[in-house]
Amino acid sequence: MARPAYSLTLDLEGRRVVVVGGGPVAARRAQGLLAAGAAVQVVAPWVCEDVQQLVDDGRVRWEQREYVAGDLLTPEPAWLVQTATGDPAVDAQVAREAAAARIWCVQAGDGRASSAWTPAVARGAAGSPAEGITVAVSAAGDPRRAMAVRDAVSAALDSGTLPVRGTRRTPEPGGSDHVAGRVALVGGGPGAEDLITVRGRALLAAADVVVADRLGPRGLLRDLAAEVEVVDVGKTPGNHPVSQQRINELLVHHARLGRRVVRLKGGDPFVLGRGGEEALYCVRHGVAVEVVPGVTSAVSVPAAAGIPVTHRGITASFVVASAHDGADDVLRAAADAAPDATLVLLMGVTGLERTAKALVAAGRPESTPVALVERGWTADQRTTTTTLGRAAADARAAGVRAPAVVVVGEVVGVRAALGDLAGVASGG
């Protein structure tokens, strides 16, 4: 074509479309037309199994014969015709009659002779944040090139790397003008932006409001549209400017205004993240809520430091505990664990001295290896190795600060052979 084609989306709901041919290509064309709501008539002396199934299901009407002049106009003029006979002479005849009747014609065998073309189409999956988005790709008669681009666009729609956020909201079914909001509790992972799940990234791209913690992939907030409201509820040790109750209320408030709310949390929402409390509050107040799991720092941060929480020949189990409220919770969590179980402590820096003394008093040897992994999965990741008896003193000497994960157990020794394994920490 000397000029670029004029792209257009057709509403074929209930409109007559003729498919000439009955092979696999015709089957694919018929299925696409049916998905668009067209009234499809197939003209062919024979049909493949896929077309036959559509006929048997009553979804298409089949004229079992060769194409004859007038088929495009009887019983009523078609809106569109697609040829897929494999016979250039028949396809050309259909195209000529379509042109004479001013009916758009797509020729499967010769795109250059067509008056219309079917692009490669990427659609947002039903139920996904990209639902309702259709992207059509044409490539100047190069279908493989178009399909390659289509597949890349489709993957980007699913991953949330494209701006899929809607600006016109669809009212609830049944005629109500009210738009139902919802809340997604999204685990952002341990900090690196590319460790959030595909589902989490997609929901973030479609959000109207993001209620964000201090930890997690905060860099992703820079990619949000300017009109997306970001509510920062980050907490630091000893400083909780926004209470948990207020956070719960914010989620429900914005959802009731018809907004798509993402509660972006570090790690996993249900691993010491108070996600359960937030989900219960939403449910009790009639707000739809979903949870998107994240990579928990309890496992991933030790891994980033070259420490597997389980390792054959060392231990087959591990315990995760919060040390935020003191040593008693840690002791209760470890009480029924195997003697060689790895103990992973979150929020354990401030009370490290008390916790270490309590573990020693409970029977853990002072020589038990300990690792303090600060700012895991960031460029500032740092690991201090010590023992249970010296943990508090060595942490003070090294200036260890939160956020940090404390690992207690013989698996810490594996780090000596592995070193850091986090790609972000080594620039990879």
**Predicted confidence (pLDDT) at residue 168 exceeds the cutoff of 70:** no
The predicted structure's pLDDT at residue 139: 76
**Predicted confidence (pLDDT) at residue 175 exceeds the cutoff of 60:** no
Tokens standing for residue 260: 């798509």
pLDDT band at 428 (very low <50, low <70, confident <90, very high): very low
- Out of 191-205, 283-297, 398-412, least confident range: 191-205
pLDDT band at 2 (very low <50, low <70, confident <90, very high): low
| C-alpha to C-alpha distance for 376 and 189, rounded to whole angstroms | 11
pLDDT band at 329 (very low <50, low <70, confident <90, very high): confident
Q: Where are the domains of the chain?
A: 16-118, 119-164, 182-295, 298-418
Output 127 or 343, whichever has higher pLDDT.
Answer: 343
**Predicted confidence (pLDDT) at residue 177 exceeds the cutoff of 60:** no
For residue 18, what are the β-bridge partners?
41, 81
Catalytic pick among 91, 158, 213, 268: 213
Mean pLDDT of the chain: 89
Per cent of the chain over pLDDT 70 is 93
What integer is the mean pLDDT of 78-82?
A: 96
Tokens standing for residue 228: 């997306």
| CATH architecture under which domain 16-118 falls | 3-Layer(aba) Sandwich (3.40)
CB 424 within 8 A of CB 376: no
Catalytic pick among 235, 329, 357, 394: 235
Cα angle 206, 209, 213; round to 5: 110
pLDDT in tens, 87-107: 999 999 999 999 999 999 998
Query: Out of 3.30.950.10, 3.40.50.1000, 3.30.450.20, 2.70.98.10, which CATH number does the structure's domain 298-418 have?
Result: 3.30.950.10
Output 247 or 165, whichever has higher pLDDT.
Answer: 247
Look up 213 and say whether it is catalytic. yes
**Predicted confidence (pLDDT) at residue 38 exceeds the cutoff of 90:** yes
Per cent of the chain over pLDDT 90 is 63
**Predicted confidence (pLDDT) at residue 285 exceeds the cutoff of 90:** yes
The predicted structure's pLDDT at residue 173: 55
CA dihedral 312, 314, 319, 320 (to 10 degrees): -80
3-state class percentages of the chain: helix first, strand second, coil last, to nearest 5: 30, 20, 45
Residue tagged 């207020």 (tokens):
246
Output 231 or 329, whichever has higher pLDDT.
Answer: 231
Look up 357 and say whether it is catalytic. no
| C-alpha to C-alpha distance for 285 and 277, rounded to whole angstroms | 12
pLDDT in tens, 132-163: 888 888 877 677 888 888 888 888 887 777 87
pLDDT band at 122 (very low <50, low <70, confident <90, very high): confident
The predicted structure's pLDDT at residue 50: 94
| C-alpha to C-alpha distance for 259 and 43, rounded to whole angstroms | 49
Output 344 or 107, whichever has higher pLDDT.
Answer: 344
pLDDT band at 425 (very low <50, low <70, confident <90, very high): very low
Q: Which CATH superfamily is domain 182-295 in?
A: Tetrapyrrole methylase, N-terminal domain (3.40.1010.10)
pLDDT in tens, 361-381: 999 999 999 999 999 998 899
